[in-house]
Structure formats: structure tokens, C-alpha cells
Amino acid sequence: MSRTSIQSVKRLVVKVGTSSLILPNGKINLRAIDQMAFTLTTLNNQGYEVILVSSGAIGAGLHQLGLDKRPTTISRQQAVAAIGQSELIKIYNQRFQYYNQTSAQVLLTRDVVDYPESRKNVINTIQELLEMKVIPIINENDSVAVDELDHLTKFGDNDQLSAIVAHLSDADLLIMLSDIDGFYSANPNTDKNATLYHRITDITDSLEAAAGGEGSRFGTGGMSSKLKAAKRIFARDSQMILANGEEPSIIFDILEGQTIGTLFASSTYTEGD
């Protein structure tokens, strides 16, 4: 892939985390979903090719069932995810249709991506959808994915999935929206001296040490998973931005080249590339 500056991005993957889609009280953040649909539709109308990787199936399922915490058994989690995925895609479709934008659901498991023939089919499907100006909404197929030695089908989390999708689709940029402004030297919620990194060109031991901790009670991704995704991005000489997803319209500012969040890109990328 040729190096591409932010301002010249054509194809992008947007990953939105559960914390941006589910309110602290467990209800679905309809405002965020509506703003996401508006933002991505606008970008599509402007000529961008946009892929959305969306978490939130289990969070939406918990909301539907009136539960306040994730079940402890895998089978119950998968059942909740099946309920939530249906609800989540219904809301996405409704909001995208409001803006006259067609969307499509694509559910993946790791084995599909690992096998050459099915991998090719996934790539072809995504490419056809983009050529049709349809926005693919991708999630892991949580209701069937398992992580066992003899049957590995899970990606781990949607941070990893979004980086894999960026690779499969040969995207110019991955924008990862979370509940934090970017990558910090320490947890900004507990350390007032924590510093926001505006650019990271390599994943070091000190960065990995600063990434300790898990995600929200509704999601699975923490800062460690963000760094794992960034490693995948570095491996294919691409770029990723981690930013706060409270206002999805922040994507407009990112694509205009504003300094927002943390840019993960090799030192060979410059503003003029």
C-alpha cells in the first residue's frame, strides 16, 4: 500500500466501541448512532469509501433483556449477543435509511478470514459493497465464535477485527473511536500528570506497560487491545487514529487534517506525503 496522508485518504475503516454506543446506564446511545449514520453517509456522498466495524451486540442485548452486567457463561453471552446484534443492526439500518443510505451487515469469524477461499470471498463482498456505494457494517459473529485450541474462530475483540478489516480492504486509514481522547502515558482518570501522545511511530515496551487495564463493563477492549491493533497497522505500513467517539462527527475534523487523538503511523509518514 502506498503511503497516504490523512487529507488524501479515500478508503477508511471506522471502528466504534461499545462505550460509544451504550450509555453508562446501559441504554443504547441513539444520538451517537444517528450522528454516526449522518457522518458516514455524508462521507460516502463526498466520495469516500467507508466501512464501519461496530461493537455493541452484547451491550444492546443486555439492554433488551434488562440486565446490568455481562453473563458469566459463554453460551449465555452468545445468546445475549444474538439478541443484541439484531437490535443494533435494526437501529443502524433505520438511521442510515433516514439519510437515504443503504447499509449491509457482514458478520465474520476468524476461521473465515484464515482460509484462503473464504478470505477471498470476504474481500470480494466488501469490494462489491463499496463499489455499490453501500456501507458495510461489520461485527464479529459473537453467537457462534469460540476460542478453543481445536476451533479458533474468535478475533479476540473488535479492535483486532477492525485492523484485520483494514488489511482485507486495503484501507488507507483506520479511525478507532473509543471513550478516551487518545493514548496517554498513564491512565488520565487516575494520574493528573498523564500526557496525551499525539503521534506514536513504534510500539515500545514502555507504551505496552502504560496500556494496562480492561475495557468497560459492556465491552471487551482496553488500551492494550488498541496497541495490538496498532501493531497490525504498523505491520502493513498503514496508519490509525485513536480518538474520542462521544461525537462521531469528529471524523470530519480528522479527515480535514486537524490534530486530534493519537496518530499511529511510521516515521516515514509526513504531513506532505
Determine if residue 142 is labeled as part of a ligand binding site.
yes
Q: What is the CATH number of the domain that holds 78?
A: 3.40.1160.10
Instruction: Name the percent of the chain lying above pLDDT 90.
Output: 62
| Statement: residue 138 has pLDDT above 50 | yes
Return the DSSP state at 28: B
| Statement: residue 251 has pLDDT above 80 | yes
Determine if residue 15 is labeled as part of a ligand binding site.
yes
Query: How many structural domains does the chain have?
Result: 1
> What's residue 10's pLDDT?
96
| 270 found inside a domain | no
Give dist(CA 14, CA 131) in Å, integer: 18
> What's residue 270's pLDDT?
53
Instruction: Name the percent of the chain lying above pLDDT 70.
Output: 88
| Statement: residue 145 has pLDDT above 90 | no
pLDDT in tens, 29-40: 999 999 999 999
Determine if residue 238 is labeled as part of a ligand binding site.
no
Beta strands, E only, 49-90: 49-54
Determine if residue 179 is labeled as part of a ligand binding site.
yes
| Statement: residue 220 has pLDDT above 80 | no
Determine if residue 225 is labeled as part of a ligand binding site.
yes
| 271 found inside a domain | no
Q: How would you classify residue 26: left for phi > 0, otherwise alpha for psi between -120 and 50, otherwise beta?
A: left
| Statement: residue 273 has pLDDT above 70 | no
Give dist(CA 216, CA 2) in Å, integer: 36
Return all residues near 60 (Cβ < 8 A) that are at least 6 apart.
Answer: 21, 22, 28, 83, 84, 85, 87, 88
Return all residues near 220 (Cβ < 8 A) that are at least 6 apart.
Answer: 18, 55, 157, 158, 214
**Bridge-based pairing state of the strands 49-54 and 103-108:** unpaired
| 235 found inside a domain | yes
Scored b (16 or more CB within 10 A) or e, 99-116 reads: eebebbebbbbbeebeee
What is the value of pTM for the model shown? 0.89
pLDDT in tens, 25-72: 999 999 999 999 999 999 999 999 999 999 999 999 999 999 988 888
> What's residue 148's pLDDT?
44
Return all residues near 133 (Cβ < 8 A) that are at least 6 apart.
Answer: 44, 102
Domain that holds residue 240: 6-264
Residue 101 near residue 40 (C-beta atoms within 8 A) = yes
| 127 found inside a domain | yes
* From 138-142, 165-169, 230-234, 261-265, the region with the lowest mean pLDDT: 138-142
| Statement: residue 147 has pLDDT above 60 | no
Determine if residue 192 is labeled as part of a ligand binding site.
no
| 269 found inside a domain | no
Half-sphere exposure for 95 (CA within 13 Å, toward CB)? 22
Which residue has better confidence, 248 or 6?
248
Determine if residue 158 is labeled as part of a ligand binding site.
yes
pLDDT in tens, 184-208: 988 888 888 889 999 999 988 888 8
| 21 found inside a domain | yes
Determine if residue 222 is labeled as part of a ligand binding site.
yes
Q: Which residue has the cell 494520574?
A: 191
| 39 found inside a domain | yes
| Statement: residue 249 has pLDDT above 50 | yes
pLDDT in tens, 155-180: 668 899 999 999 999 999 999 999 88
| 53 found inside a domain | yes
Q: Which residue has the cell 470530519?
A: 252
Determine if residue 224 is labeled as part of a ligand binding site.
yes
Give dist(CA 9, CA 17) in Å, integer: 22
